[in-house]
């Protein structure tokens, strides 16, 4: 009888231990921690911090905690998160941590002194980025012979692929038209496969041996504009109807991010962005949003989280374009190029040297910017393409 009771007790205690350990593991996973100061079990939240490049220091309220990439358990509260790495500009943001919720902080660190790499050396005019961001077209004009310059590349129209290849084996630029094309206007087709070079229609992938003028340029331009407008309507059609009504009546300059999860726009009249997700998502971006829009201001709308952020006036913020990350903007001013988080935070200078025609476009990896500049005007009058390395 005693042995039977002992067996039952052992089984019962074993089950209690198993359930107790399981409950403790589940509670730990949900963010519960024992507070020695409060002498009780307290709920916590998890903050996941990543950075590009990784290996950066994580400061929470100015106190060094760990290094990226890492997940930290914190009590529910507002925190100032700073991510820094030697040789890079610091990234900082106020983030709200909630109990039993995982929040993210993804920091893009920009170098304090970015290096430049020459892409061309023979002079370049009329650079233009393709609509899909994967190609750059430009003209190499005829150059006068000079004993002080290096041999020049063949004049004509060239295309450079901006897609990184495996093992770093990027293709060289390819010539798609031979000859001298001064003051040439280059226009991409919506599918990035053709180029309208003044009155010539060119294939962007191959050398066009013979240039045949287009009989009706206006017809080609109208067809391309129709395709572009149709694609924009298709993107807008994926939005909730209440949001489409605002986007088609109160805003202009709608530009979707590369992954189509966000879009920025300029308001043309006062309106209020309707609430789409109710209740709001937990663990969403902590940056304050503004749903009452005013004319002349630029905003960005996050489709996945149903949040709307004010970026500034059109005069102070435009022109701008998306980085391929879909989480950052490139802003070009008169004397510098800046990169900003999509919610308007962490606006920092990426390049402050000379560049021409306000030309700055991203490499598809987001790790480089391409600019048009002349770093030695005393030796040469021509501009060339350079890569500003952001990694």
DSSP assignment of 1-37 equals -HHHHHHHHHHHHHHHHHHHHHHHHHHHHTTEEEETT
Report CA-CA distances (Å) from 109 to 52, 105, 193, 349: 6, 12, 34, 11
Compute CA 342 distance to the chain's CA centroid, rounded to the nearest angstrom: 8
% of the chain at pLDDT higher than 90: 71
Q: Considering only residues 259 and 17, tell me which one the structure prediction assigns the higher pLDDT.
A: 259
Average pLDDT over residues 166-180: 78
Residue 346 has a pLDDT of: 98
Q: Are 2 and 15 in contact (CB under 8 A)?
A: no
Compute the mean pLDDT over every residue in the chain, rounded to the nearest whole number: 89
What's the whole-number mean pLDDT along residues 10-24?
Answer: 66
Give the pLDDT band (50/70/90) at residue 74: very high
Q: Are 388 and 116 in contact (CB under 8 A)?
A: yes
Q: What would the mean pLDDT of 290-311 be, rounded to a whole number?
A: 97
Model pLDDT for residues 113-127, shown as the tens digit of each residue: 999 999 999 899 999
Question: Using an 8 Å Cβ cutoff, are 305 and 277 in contact?
Answer: yes
Count CB-CB contacts under 10 A for residue 263. 21
Q: With 70 as the cut, is the pLDDT of residue 24 above it?
A: no
Cα–Cα distance for residue pair 121/150, rounded to 1 Å: 8
Provide the β-strand partners of residue 266.
Answer: 252, 298
pLDDT at 146: 47
Q: What's the whole-model pTM score?
A: 0.86
47 close to 72: Cβ distance less than 8 angstroms: yes
Site of tokens 């060289």: 172
Residue 391: band (very low, low, confident or very high) from pLDDT cuts 50, 70, 90: confident
The domains of the chain, with CATH numbers, are 46-108 (2.60.40.1120)
The yes-or-no verdict on residue 259 having pLDDT over 50 is yes
| Helix segments in the chain, DSSP class H | 2-29, 217-237, 241-249, 314-317
Contacts 24+ apart (CB under 8 A), 223-226: 224/187, 224/189, 224/190, 224/196
Give the range among 15-24, 112-121, 211-220 with minimum mean pLDDT: 15-24
> Is a pLDDT exceeding 90 seen at residue 145?
no
Q: Name the E strands within 268-351.
A: 271-272, 292-293, 297-302, 307-313, 320-322, 328-332, 337-341, 348-351
Residue 292, by phi and psi: left (phi above 0), alpha (psi -120 to 50) or beta? beta
83-108: per-residue pLDDT in tens?
A: 999 999 999 999 999 998 999 999 99
């Amino acid at each position: 009888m005693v042995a039977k009771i002992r067996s039952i007790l052992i089984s019962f205690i074993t089950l209690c231990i198993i359930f107790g350990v399981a409950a403790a593991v589940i509670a730990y996973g949900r963010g519960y921690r024992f507070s020695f100061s409060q002498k009780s079990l307290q709920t916590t939240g998890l903050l996941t911090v990543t950075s590009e490049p990784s290996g950066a220091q994580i400061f929470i309220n100015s106190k060094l905690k760990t290094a990226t990439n890492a997940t930290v358990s914190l009590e529910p509260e507002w925190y100032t998160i700073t991510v820094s790495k030697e040789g890079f500009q610091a990234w900082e943001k106020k983030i709200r941590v909630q109990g039993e919720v995982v929040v993210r902080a993804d920091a893009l660190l920009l170098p304090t002194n970015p290096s430049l790499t020459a892409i061309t050396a023979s002079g370049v005019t009329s650079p233009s980025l393709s609509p899909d961001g994967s190609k750059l077209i430009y003209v190499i004009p005829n150059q006068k012979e000079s004993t002080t310059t290096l041999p020049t590349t063949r004049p004509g129209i060239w295309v450079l692929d901006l897609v990184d290849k495996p093992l770093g084996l990027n293709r060289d630029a390819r010539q798609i038209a031979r000859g001298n094309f001064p003051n040439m206007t280059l226009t991409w087709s919506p599918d990035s496969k053709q180029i309208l070079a003044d009155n010539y229609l060119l294939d962007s992938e191959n050398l066009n041996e013979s240039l045949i003028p287009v009989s009706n340029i206006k017809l080609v331009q109208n067809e391309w504009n129709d395709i572009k407008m149709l694609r924009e309507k298709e993107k807008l059609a994926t939005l909730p109807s209440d949001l489409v009504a605002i986007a088609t009546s109160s805003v202009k300059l709608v530009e979707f991010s590369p992954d189509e999860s966000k879009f920025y726009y300029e308001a043309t009249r006062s309106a209020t962005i309707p609430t789409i997700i109710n209740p709001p998502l937990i663990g969403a971006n902590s940056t304050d949003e503004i749903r009452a829009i005013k004319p002349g201001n630029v905003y960005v709308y996050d489709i996945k989280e149903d949040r709307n952020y004010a970026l500034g006036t059109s005069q102070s913020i435009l022109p701008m374009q998306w980085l391929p990350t879909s989480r950052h903007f490139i802003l070009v001013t008169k004397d510098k190029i800046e990169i900003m988080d999509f919610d308007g935070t962490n606006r920092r200078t990426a390049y402050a040297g000379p560049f021409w025609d306000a030309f700055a476009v991203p490499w598809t990896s987001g790790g480089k910017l391409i600019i048009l500049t002349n770093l030695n005007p005393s030796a040469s009058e021509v501009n060339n393409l350079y890569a500003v390395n952001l990694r």
